[in-house]
Amino acid sequence: VAAAGPGLVGRIFGRTAGPQADAPRRVLDDAMLEELEDMLVQSDMGVDTALRVTANIAEGRMGRRLSATELKELLAGEIARIMAPVARPMPIYPRRPQVVLVVGVNGSGKTTTIGKLASQFRAAGKNVVIAAGDTFRAAAVEQLQVWGQRAGVPVMVAAQGSDPASLAFDAMTRAEAEGADLLMIDTAGRLQNRQDLMEELAKIVRVIRKKDPSAPHNTLLVLDATTGQNALSQVETFRKLADVSGLVMTKLDGTARGGVLVALADRFGLPIHAIGVGEQIDDLDAFDAEDFARALVG
């Protein structure tokens, strides 16, 4: 994860402080805590989470002299503690087909993520079917077909503007007939008309439940990490529209400051199944709490 830029602690201790630079030490006082808090907020962690993290670091340590390395370890430890419970891959069930509904605003990386996931599942020996449920955006359907080809996975499409729920039903029928392990359903991401989107998603769910009352088995919300604190409001919105079971954070290779993942974990506790780290098919990594915490702290 290149999400942290120069690293939080390095900034507090000045440019010269590297892993070997155990001097200078700084007294952990209110001024230093405030700087730390500011850094965490600037990393997109949000005020509440930043305050809690700094309070935990302060506890029993005020007045102590800390080196950059010590502060890094403390901070990474605190962040890893928040992130460990959410670092969980997407659960795979014996159910066939396992239905994975993929939601998120347009541009968040839904199409790309579906392609990457399909490729990983294929590599793991699973039969996958994709349904291009965003039937209004012709470009999205085309993109998904390209990704399907790359991943070697069939993509079911419907006429432009046709009912996504009826496509989902057909896709269920095909996935069942073919004994597919996974059916991934792309959905529209037009948040401009929430009522409309809510009804569309609810109808998709209703229709696939006619075939399998336990479906969808996963509802993945794809979030663009570069949108910073917006990601938090997207979770709140989509949780009202769908029964979100897990997150995929995209674009962590870019300018994202990464702290938003900590805020998300702290606030919602939803599992982070994977992180997008580029535009290529293999650029999807499992989320590792320790690695992430170290990268963020820098």
Give the footprint of ligand GDP on this chain (CB under 6 A).
104, 106-112, 140, 143, 189, 250-251, 253-254, 276-279, 283
Question: Cα(88)–Cα(91) distance, rounded to whole angstroms?
Answer: 8
Residue 151 contacts residue 122 (beta carbons within 8 Å): yes
Pick 48 or 282: Cβ nearer ligand GDP: 282
Least distance CB 278 / ligand GDP (angstroms): 5
109 annotated binding-site participant: yes
Are residues 244 and 270 in contact, defined by beta-carbon separation less than 8 angstroms?
yes
Question: Does 171 show up as a binding residue in the annotation?
Answer: no
The verdict on whether residue 101 carries a ligand-binding annotation is no
Reduced to 3 states (helix: H, G, I; strand: E, B; else coil), residue 221 is: strand
Q: State in angstroms the smallest separation of the CB of 23 from ligand GDP.
A: 38
Query: Shortest approach of ligand GDP to residue 150 CB, angstroms?
Result: 12
Q: Is 236 exposed, middle or buried (0-12, 13-18, 19+ CB in 10 A)?
A: exposed
In terms of CB distance, is 41 or 221 closer to ligand GDP? 221
Q: How far is the CB of 251 from ligand GDP (least distance, A)?
A: 4
Closest approach, Cβ 42 to ligand GDP, in A, equals 21
Rounded to an integer, what is the distance from CA 135 to the centroid of its chain?
24
- In the complex with ligand GDP, the residue whose CB is nearer, 39 or 118, is 118
Question: Is 135 part of any known ligand binding site?
Answer: no
Count helices and strands (H / E) in the chain.
11, 10
Which residue, judged by CB position, is nearest to ligand GDP in the bound state?
276
276 carries a ligand binding annotation = no
Q: Which is nearer to ligand GDP, 36 or 275 (CB)?
A: 275
DSSP 70-126: HHHHHHHHHHHHHHGGGB-PPP--S-SSEEEEEE--TTSSHHHHHHHHHHHHHHTT-
Q: Please, which residue, 164 or 189, has the CB nearer to ligand GDP?
A: 189
193 is in an annotated binding site: no
DSSP state of 228: T
Please check if 105 is assigned to a binding site: yes
Nearer to ligand GDP, 110 or 217 (CB): 110
Residue 110 C-beta: closest distance to ligand GDP, Å = 3
Residue 14 counted as an annotated binding residue: no
> Using N-to-C axis directions, what is the helix angle for 164-177 and 194-211, rounded to 10°?
30
Which residue has tokens 């020996």?
125
Rg (C-alpha) for the chain, rounded Å, is 21
Best CA proximity match to 39, nearest among 256, 259, 255:
259
* Residues in the annotated binding site: 104-111, 186-190, 250-253
* Residues in the annotated binding site for GTP: 104-111, 186-190, 250-253
